[in-house]
A and B are shown apart, each in its own frame.
Chain A
Amino acid sequence: MSGFHTAMELVLQGDASLYAIVRLSLLVSLSAVVIAALVGFPFGAWLALTRFPGRDAVIIVLNACMGLPPVVIGLAVFLLLSRSGPLGSWGLLFTPQAMVIAEAILVAPIVAALARQTIEDLWLEYRAELEAMGATPLRRVGALLWDARLSLLTVLLAGFGRAAAEVGAVMIVGGNIDGFTRTMTTAIALETSKGDLPLAMGLGAVLIAIVVAINGVVWGMRSYGERKAG
């Protein structure tokens, strides 16, 4: 319970560094989700609508990638972005951008795999009708993405959950630098290692509250959308 009290105190005091950490966490997670969506939705839609030899294998690999170990991705991105790595000249290691890259790689397969399933289900339903309407392939994909938007919103939520809860990869590529790359999760890890367990629990409670709030907002959007579009 002391964690809950600490959480209340943190929020009520309006601790500036807490807000900075929350802001960075949201910024990194949401940016990663947006990038993952820009890559994952078109890829998922393409995979849902095309048939080619080896498609099953691609789907299996994609589904498996939903469980990519964050630490491995973190390490791979670290080695890529390190000054001694191939992309070292970008100077991105230990920056929020590096964290966004790692998170986007973790989230993109989730978005693509779940979008593929969602869109394929809808395609089976819509196929005859869209063909009869003479819709071009581009228009078909557009219709499927738009009409599946409420389900795809939930897909984004799953991706966001993964990004917001992740600690291993962001710790490695971000370095948990105070005021610069410290997120909710790395701050919790740090406070735990400092033995300040109530503060760690307090931060944890704040993180959970934020995730719940975002889910609530999305749920509201879904319900509204469903009333409007059926």
Chain B
Amino acid sequence: MRAPASDLPIVLAAVGVRAGTQDILRDVSLVFQPGAPTAILGPNGAGKSTLIRVAAGLLQPSLGSVTWGGLSAKSLQRRAIVFQRPVMLRRSVAGNLAFALAAAGCPRAHCAAAVERLLARVSLGALHDRPARRLSGGEQQRLALARALAREPEILFLDEPTNNLDPAATKAVEAIIRDADASGIKVVMATHDLGQARRLCGDVVFLANGAVVETAGAADFFSRPRTEKAAAFLRGDIVE
């Protein structure tokens, strides 16, 4: 089966996700367009991770619908995701990448070269043979990004990509995200680091308590939030 010409725009129409009696997402309608990275902002428990998983096609919504480029294809071919706590396979750094490449359908003959190229892209070439689970948090995050890039995605979902990383590691990860953006990949990232959203993103989805409160261009959102909740969040108040 051929991949669709494009997975974009991603359209979420009246999406709801229920877990037991709890609504994790409520009536979320959004469109992700090609362009600068989109930040999904909001306090802990707002439903950011769930929204990312739904948009990536990994989680079937309880209500509403999601389409990618106008199709409801569930195939993950043009999408990639990096989880908040990526799990390293019990293999070497190169082994992790080789597996991701093979799973993405990369022909065996091209695999070795692709591994080297991706490792260079995330500056992990020197750690080629190191067991992935012995890497530092920042290195693991970079390897997870490389694994995601191995899929040659059109859209890259990131869930708190620099959570718990020190400034140097954060800087390295952000460089990779910029590089991905520059190469034409649409980045959608959940973060609660406002500075990071300001540095990287072109527009913002602000989520609170499972519902979309505000969507706006990043510059507008940070300088003139339209809702009281967003303003409170930007001030650093506790938002429920």
When the two chains form their complex, are residues A126 and B91 in contact, meaning their CB atoms are under 8 A apart? Answer: no
A126 CB to closest chain B CB (Å) equals: 6
Give A153-181 interface residues, CB cut-off 8 Å to B.
Answer: none
The CA of A134 and the CA of B99, in the complex, are separated in Å by: 11
A-B contact count (CB 8 A): 57
Query: Would A134 and B87 be within 8 Å (CB), given that A228-B92, A230-B132, A230-B134 are in contact?
Result: no
Residues of A105-149 at the interface with B, using a CB-CB cut-off of 8 Å, are: 125-126, 128-136, 139, 143, 147-148
Selected from A125, A128, A147, A148, the residue in CB contact (under 8 A) with B58 is: A128
User: With contacts A228-B131, A230-B133, A230-B134 known, is A132 near B90, CB below 8 A?
Assistant: no
A126 touching B89 in the complex, CB below 8 Å, given contacts A133-B147, A229-B131: yes
> What does the 1/0 interface line of B82-105 toward A look like (CB < 8 Å)?
010011111110010001101110
Assembly CA distance A171 to B80 (angstroms): 58
Query: Once bound together, how far apart are the Cα atoms of A128 and B76, in whole Å?
Result: 13
Please, which residues of chain A bring their CB within 8 A of the CB of B151? 133-134
Check B211 for interface membership: any CB of A closer than 8 A: no
Q: Is B77 an interface residue (CB 8 A)?
A: yes
Residue of chain A at shortest CB distance from B80? A132
Sample of 17 further A-B pairs with CB below 8 A, known A129-B87, A129-B89, A132-B58 = A126-B87, A128-B58, A130-B103, A131-B58, A132-B81, A133-B99, A133-B103, A133-B104, A133-B147, A134-B151, A135-B103, A147-B89, A147-B91, A228-B92, A228-B131, A229-B90, A230-B91
| Ranked 5 nearest A-B pairs via Cβ | A230-B131, A230-B133, A135-B103, A147-B90, A133-B103
Identify the B interface with A (CB < 8 A). Answer: 56, 58, 75-77, 80-81, 83, 86-92, 95, 99-100, 102-104, 131-134, 147, 151
